[in-house]
Structure 1
Amino acid sequence: MPGERDSFVAVQKNSDGDITAFRTSSGRTLDYAQALQEVQQGAIQGVNAFKGRDGELYIRGDADGDPSNNLDNLPLF
């Protein structure tokens, strides 16, 4: 469907359990910086960027009450 935005469907994590990369619904792989840029541009649905206590920007899932689509709960790739 034209104009439909990507969503995140899987993640990669480092040894600390931090998300380092994302797989999108269209099959693209984005590192964290690329993903953050696309989130800020509104190209990814279901997520938003927020500023942490440390002043850095982070990606989080939109609060919809469904824990199954939390970024930490997405399958690994």
Structure 2
Amino acid sequence: METVVGIHRNHFGEIISFVTSGGRVISYQKALMEAANGDITGVLAAEDHHGNLVLSPEQQDQSFDHYPNLF
């Protein structure tokens, strides 16, 4: 099973895609679907306070800031 090893951010600092251990670069939406299906590890799909599905790191005490920004 693949895990998230890096992220890509836009110039606003928003995460736009993820890099997997298999070398794939997947969009935020694709990562959201794969996390919800249990196809990737390192991220969790959860509902925010508005009821929208969002990604969060598996470790609740961490943020995505600990992932390297890979290009």
TM-score range (shorter-chain normalised) is 0.7 to 0.9
Across the aligned residues of Structure 1 and Structure 2, the Cα RMSD in angstroms comes to: 1.6
Is it true that 1:73 corresponds to 2:66 in the alignment? Answer: yes
How many residues in Structure 1 have an aligned counterpart in Structure 2? 70
Q: Does 2:22 match 1:29?
A: no
**Higher relative strand content:** 2
- Secondary structure in 2 aligned to 1:63? coil
TM-score by structure 2 length? 0.84
Identity of aligned pairs, percent? 31
* Structure with bigger gyration radius: 1
Looking at structure 2, the residues matched to 34 and 60 of structure 1 have their Cα atoms a distance apart, in angstroms, of: 14
TM-score, normalised via structure 1 length: 0.78
Q: Which residue matches 1:60?
A: 56
Cα distance between partner residues in 2 of 1:25 and 1:7: 5
Could you list the runs of 4 or more consecutive aligned residues of structure 1 that deviate by over 4 angstroms after TM superposition?
Answer: none
Identify unmatched segments of 5+ residues in structure 1.
none
Change (3 A) 1:64 1:50: closer
Residue identity in the other structure for 1:51: E
